[in-house]
Amino acid sequence: MPTVTLNTNHFNLDVGGFAGFFGGEEAVSAMETVHLYRARRWTGWFNSPGSYSVGKHYGQLANSRFWDGMFPGPNVEPTVYIGMDGQSGPMYFASQSGTFLKQTGHLAYLLMQKCKDQRAVIVEGRRTRANKVTILEMPDIKFDAATETSLNIHARDGFHKHVALFPIATSVATCILCAWGDDWYCFSLILLGILINGISCFVIGSASIVLQSVASSKNAPPGDGMLMDGNHVIVVLGKEKNVLAITQGKFQLEYEPWVRRRMRKRRTRAIVGDGIHNVHHWFGKKDAESGSEVQSDEDAEINNEYAAIGFCSLLLVIQFLTQLLLIPQGKLFGQVMFLTSFAVSWAYNLFLSSMDKEYLQEERLVQALNLTDDHMKTYKLGTRTAAAVFACLALQPDCEHGEWENRGFKPQEILRQFIPNETHVWAVWRDQVLEQMRSDKSSLQSFDLQACGNRIAAFNDVDKNLLSDLLSDARTAYQQYLILQVRRRSLIGSISSSVKAEAW
């Protein structure tokens, strides 16, 4: 009986064909976490798959004619490209300053998602369509003393650096085993992957995260207002400068000069003969017109080239091409070692890409602004009308109602932001809510149907029943607001008592 033997002398796995494509999406997604974890940029020293995908993806950050030709695509700022900016936030309506933003930015979006996931206090009452109202009392933000509009964001200190030891150790071990087996092709390719991936992680992850806000006037009124997103509303209370950090602030990746390599383009006005021509030129180039007078604008347009990132992307593409050509030259054992380092590195990239990067950004934002559970309380009310009254009461300034107009507080406009209906029933309901807000009585008599008087004389039974339900919702919201006020007073009393005790 003939025997079958397996001759592996000329057997070749030929893994170079998928070396740069296998695990590309996971590698790109894993690289997006490089700024969110502390020391993440130092843990990229392993032979990672997907070098071609990572190189082509991040090469688009480089901004010059050379890099645009090599990595064509839109020149987007790294913060937007990596996913730390670019989301549209909810509408914002200020209750005193008069500010109205139809759309806010990325930080307001993150805060809204955070509040949506927060456990809510259920308010008893009539239920039709549930609405959540989060009362957010903004603490004072300690901005950088030099700029007064920026705040450094600290990356998360997680256990990822311990998990990274597995792909690093595997890549180093397989590299040594290839050398031990005299397979210098696979040895050099694994070593090349370790070095290029480590350098790329270090360069791309070298930026620090900064919360960049806008300047506010010291005499500006309080920034109290509402962030409104469907059935969820965040009532933001605090100083204008603190609220602006949420409504108009953004994350920004601050790279070192050696990474971004500033490239300045300035507009000049060249006076040649009798004519005036607008020309552009780069620093380092002189005007070709001899004898012409050149006047330069002081305000120069500054672009960031990010040449270091482009160089790393080029190295990643070169790594892919080198692996594609030289892996078939290696021995079977070395190819198996190369594939083993790929498999472990892919598993680690899959672990990183499975992280919810949006949640990590929410966590960094909340920690940077010192937003504890005491500053954020969410209430779930059964109807839209109850939520409208509760939010309006929370935004009420701490003054007599006669000063509301001077403060710019218009409660009827707040109620209309929730419910723009202008029927007679809704008009009477708004009047009764405003009457109760102006009253110093805690009996809530304005929410009784009899208190409406002759204004409902022409109402039929259906309108009266509807108005009765709406007034009942307002009563529910008002009662919850009174409970909230009692808790605030007790909290303030306990804090003042502790301060006195410490002083004593």
pLDDT tens profile 62-94: 888 888 888 888 878 888 888 888 889 999 998
- The 3-state secondary structure of 280-293, one letter per residue: EEECCCCCCCCCCE
Structure tokens at 486: 């009692």
Task: Locate the DSSP E strands across 341-391.
Answer: 376-381
Identity of the amino acid at 172: V
Q: Which of 103-107, 170-174, 201-205, 435-439 has the lowest mean pLDDT?
A: 435-439
Using the predicted structure, report yes or no on whether residue 114 has a pLDDT greater than 80. Answer: yes
Structure tokens at 310: 């482009």
- Asked if 462 and 391 sit in the same domain, the reply is yes
Radius of gyration of the chain (CA): 31
- Asked if 405 and 464 sit in the same domain, the reply is yes
Structure tokens at 239: 């100083």
* Residue 281 belongs to a domain: yes
Work out the pLDDT band at 318, boundaries 50, 70, 90: very high
Residue 292 lies in domain: 268-299
The residue among 365, 395, 412 that closes a domain is 365
CB 221, CB 240: distance < 8 Å: yes
Compute how many other C-beta atoms are within 10 angstroms of the C-beta atom of residue 191. Answer: 18
CB proximity list for 164: less than 8 A, separation 6 or greater: 43, 46, 348
Q: Which of 37-46, 166-175, 342-351, 447-456 has the lowest mean pLDDT?
A: 447-456
The residue with greater pLDDT, 218 or 419, is 419
* Residue 370 belongs to a domain: no
- Asked if 458 and 404 sit in the same domain, the reply is yes
- Asked if 174 and 202 sit in the same domain, the reply is yes
* Residue 142 belongs to a domain: no
- Asked if 395 and 288 sit in the same domain, the reply is no
Average pLDDT over residues 123-145: 88
CA distance 136 to 118: 12
* Residue 420 belongs to a domain: yes
Using the predicted structure, report yes or no on whether residue 130 has a pLDDT greater than 80. Answer: yes
CA distance 262 to 234: 40
* Residue 224 belongs to a domain: no
The residue with greater pLDDT, 285 or 405, is 405
Work out the pLDDT band at 16, boundaries 50, 70, 90: low
Structure tokens at 498: 């502790």
Number of domains the chain contains = 3
Backbone angles phi, psi at 360, to 5 degrees: -65, -40
- Cα–Cα distances (Å) from 450 to 78, 337, 446, 455, in that order, read 62, 85, 9, 10
* Residue 318 belongs to a domain: yes
> SS3 for 113?
helix
CB 378, CB 115: distance < 8 Å: yes
> SS3 for 323?
helix
Using the predicted structure, report yes or no on whether residue 486 has a pLDDT greater than 90. Answer: no
Using the predicted structure, report yes or no on whether residue 155 has a pLDDT greater than 90. Answer: no
Crossing angle of helices 106-116 and 240-247, in 10° steps, is 90
Chain CA centroid to CA 480, Å: 32
- Asked if 480 and 449 sit in the same domain, the reply is yes
* Residue 98 belongs to a domain: no
- Asked if 189 and 290 sit in the same domain, the reply is no
- Predicted model pTM: 0.82
- Asked if 401 and 465 sit in the same domain, the reply is yes
CA distance 414 to 129: 19
* Residue 106 belongs to a domain: no
- Asked if 193 and 72 sit in the same domain, the reply is yes
CB 201, CB 160: distance < 8 Å: no
Write down the pLDDT at residue 45: 94
> SS3 for 201?
helix
- Asked if 56 and 158 sit in the same domain, the reply is yes
- Asked if 55 and 32 sit in the same domain, the reply is yes
Compute how many other C-beta atoms are within 10 angstroms of the C-beta atom of residue 490. Answer: 10
- Cα–Cα distances (Å) from 67 to 194, 204, 254, 284, 490, in that order, read 24, 16, 21, 20, 62
- Asked if 418 and 441 sit in the same domain, the reply is yes
pLDDT tens profile 324-339: 888 888 888 988 999 9
